[in-house]
Every structure is written in structure tokens, then in C-alpha cells.
Amino acid sequence: MKRILSILLSLVLAASLSAAALAEEHSSGTVAEAQIAYPVIKGSETPPDKQTTYFRYTPEDFKFRGNSTPVIFVLGDGAWTAETAADTLTRGGFDQMAQEESGHIVFVSPSNGTSWTEEDYTVMQALATNVTDDYTYTLEQAGTYDTGVTEDGVMYAGRFRSYTFAEGSAQEFVKTYLDTPDSTYLVQQWNNVVDGFSAAYHYADAFERTDNLSAWHDMRRINRISMSDGVTYLDKYYVYSDYGIRESIETFTSSKGNTMEYYQYVPKGVDVNSKTEKYPLVLVSHGSNQHPEGYVQLTNWPIVADQENFIVVAINAHNLVNTDEILELVDFMIDQRAVDAGRVYATGYSMGGMKSWTLGFERPDRFAAIAPTEGIPGMGKVSLPDPDRSIPTFWVAGEKEFYNLFPMNSEAAIASSWPTLTDLRTTASMMKVWASITG
């Protein structure tokens, strides 16, 4: 019976990692050598006392996409060197995988240098922990994520979107310790140990490019999704080209001079150049520290758009622009993208839910309906809407949501809602007030 080790909140990289190695680790487009400290045990005050070497490849044109960014672990029949990892990168087709998904390839060796043992499970846990999908975008930060790693060597990647390829003797190790319901690892940002390891696995006696790429075609379309309290499940990862959906990154500059980056999703049944047809527009707003592309993937909105023929737009860092600026973008879409001015909708999660409330409260005349998820009103210090101008609202929330953690008289609660309304600082109280307004 294998021993399940939970993992420490923060990952400590070995102090002996040289400045030269750090510089190499931060380079892109090459196989870079780095070291990882292990084991890391949740709740322990004792830092990891061991370390092992791994090799990471990140494509030169890497673009961080939040939780959509994959990590592909490659375990071979013995220890890697920089030369053998670089050779396998091409021989195994991993270079193409990294390019297709703008992801990381991580070559992992047995910690003892020769054979795979139970101790290597703690190494894999440490590597799975060594990621962050936190994303905070401002105009000043554009390009910050291009190296693929933080200054401490933590990879910018999805917390749950990992895949594992095993060759030779590594196959038995992966089947015993990783590809099993008993496997776990720590999500640092939540200080929470989650079940499951990779979303998908591939086994080979010897890696071969065509075989690996064929397997990757199916593997990349599987995603691991987190629910709560460490529980995860497998779901689809949508490759939009499979459905004929056109995804593009666009920019728009408001009259205030603020440039918005936004992600646009146009189904095959929508003709944005049409002079006769008009289509609905759904504004999808991400939560705090979420990447818009990653959030859209989790919501499946482009897939729904393909079924119903509407356009999806997700503004990057929507919190940096106000309602008037967003409506300028909407007007542009109406004028240039065949959008129906009478069918514009707003939805979003957490901070994005707050933005949805704000848009609906401030300009109910411009939105056909809003659908906030989890977020309560308060972003932008808006006022309650005129009951005669209220709009259809689909609100997903629960009485035990995050916002109930704010004490009723706390500074955080006051700052998060209207200072003059003392009963709108929890989700439960807001539900009652909103129901009374809308009838």
C-alpha cells in the first residue's frame, strides 16, 4: 500500500541553485536545467531537505493563458541530461505539443538517478505544486509572463491541466503512483490537497513522434476541473477549431485613451460582416486573478454560442475600465460586428459577477439581461437600480458564499458594498433585497 504524502503550502527551491542556472531557467525556447526541493509536507515547519534536477522546455513565443496553460510531464527510462531531453523533445513530438498549446514540457528523472521508486512520487507532487495560474493584467505588466516562470522558478500554468507521458520503466511507476485515484498534490494558492494527478496519461516502451502526437490529439481535449474541498473531476477541454469557432485577440481604445484587450469568439454560423443579419453579444467577465481565456474555457460559453449563434467577448482586466468605456466597445461591435443592439448581455464570475451587476445597475437601458455568478453588487460603488428600470437577472449564488465571511461591520464589508446600506454585505441579505426589488 503506497503512502500518500500531502504537501507544504509554499515550495522552497534549493538555495544552491546557481545564478547561471537561474538565468538559464528563465530563458525561453531552450531546454533549461533547474532543481526542485522535496518533499514538501502541508502544515510542516520543516523545509524540504532534498532536491533533484529536472529540465523544462517553454516555447519562445510562450503566452500565458491562465488555467488553460498545460504542463506536460515526461518520464523516461532512466535519467535525463540536457542533451537527451533536447533530443526527446523532437523525437517525441513534445516541441509541437508545447507550440500548439503554448505550454511547458517538464522532463523528470528518477531522484536516485537510475530507477523509479516511491520517493519519486514526492518529487512529482512537488513539481505539480510548482505552478501558479494567478493572472493580474495591467498595461504596465504586459509581457511579464512571457518567460513562463516567476522569479522563484514557479511555472505559469494551470493548477489542474497537467498531462503525463511515461516511457520504459517509468510506465510502472506512473501506473502505481500517479494514474490512480489515490494520487494527490497541493494547490498552493488554496493551501489545499486535491485528489487526482494528471488529466490524461500515455504509455510507450519507447517514445515515437507520430504515436505521441496521435495520443496528444485526444489527451489535450481532456481537462481536470476543481470543485471544492480538494475534489476534482475530468471534463472536456474545448479546442475551438474542432467546432469552427474563430477565437481572436483584439484591442479597442476608449475615448479616455485606455486600450482594452479582449478575446472574441465567433461561431461558424455568425457572419460579422453581414449587412442584413444581427446577432446577440454576450460579455463574459473573468474573476479576480483569472485569465479571460482560461475563464471562458471553464464556462463553455463559446460552445453555447456555436449552438445559438451569438458572439462572445471577454475583456482582459475589465476592472480597469468603467461602464461607459465598455459600452463604447459594445457600440463598436454593433457598428462593425453585426451585433444586435437590443440583445446585449453581461455575465461573469466573482469580480466578473460584480462587473455584471455594475453594468446592469448603471445602464439597464443597454442590456437585455444580466447573469452574475457568485459576485454581489458593489464594484464601482453603484446605486440601487430604479425598480421601474430593472432588467431580467439570472443570479447564481449561495447563502454560504465567500462574501458571508465579511463581518457585517467590518471595513472590508463597508468597502465592498454601499456605505449607506448596512443590509447588503452578504450574499443571503442581497438575495432578499434583490428579490424585493424585482418582485
Long-range contacts of 140-147, Cβ-Cβ distance < 8 Å, separation of 24 or more: 145/62, 145/63, 145/64, 146/28, 146/62, 146/63, 146/64, 147/26, 147/27, 147/28, 147/58, 147/62
3-state secondary structure of 300: coil
pLDDT category at 160 given cuts 50, 70, 90 is: confident
- Looking at 309-439, list the stretches that DSSP marks H as alpha helix, in order from N- to C-terminal side: 323-336, 351-362, 411-416, 427-438
How many Cα neighbours within 13 Å face the side chain of 385? 23
Stretch (H or E) spanning 339 = strand 339-349
Q: Which three-class secondary structure state does DSSP give residue 345?
A: strand
- Give yes or no for residue 265 having a pLDDT over 80: yes
pLDDT band, residue 24 (cuts 50/70/90)? very low
Residue 179: pLDDT band (50, 70, 90) is very high
pLDDT for position 315: 97
Q: What is the pLDDT of residues 282-314, one digit of tens each?
A: 999 999 889 999 999 999 999 999 999 999 999
Q: What pLDDT sits at residue 416?
A: 47
CA distance 58 to 107: 12
78 grid coordinates: 532512466
The residues, any chain, with a CB within 8 Å of residue 15's CB and separated by 6 or more, are: none
d(CA 122, CA 178): 11
3-state secondary structure of 58: coil
What distances in angstroms separate CA 361 from CA 331, 333, 416, one per listed residue?
19, 21, 16
End-to-end Cα separation, the chain, in angstroms: 58
CA atoms of 25 and 106, how far apart (whole Å): 12
What value does the CA radius of gyration of the chain take, rounded to a whole number of Å? Answer: 24
Checking if the pLDDT of 72 tops 60, the result is yes
The C-alpha atoms of residue 179 and residue 164 are separated, in whole angstroms, by 9
* Per-residue pLDDT tens over the stretch 379-400: 444 556 666 777 888 888 766 5
Predicted pLDDT of residue 40: 76
| pLDDT higher than 50, residue 70 | yes
Do the Cβ atoms of 41 and 119 come closer than 8 Å?
Answer: no
- d(CA 113, CA 111) in angstroms, rounded, equals 5
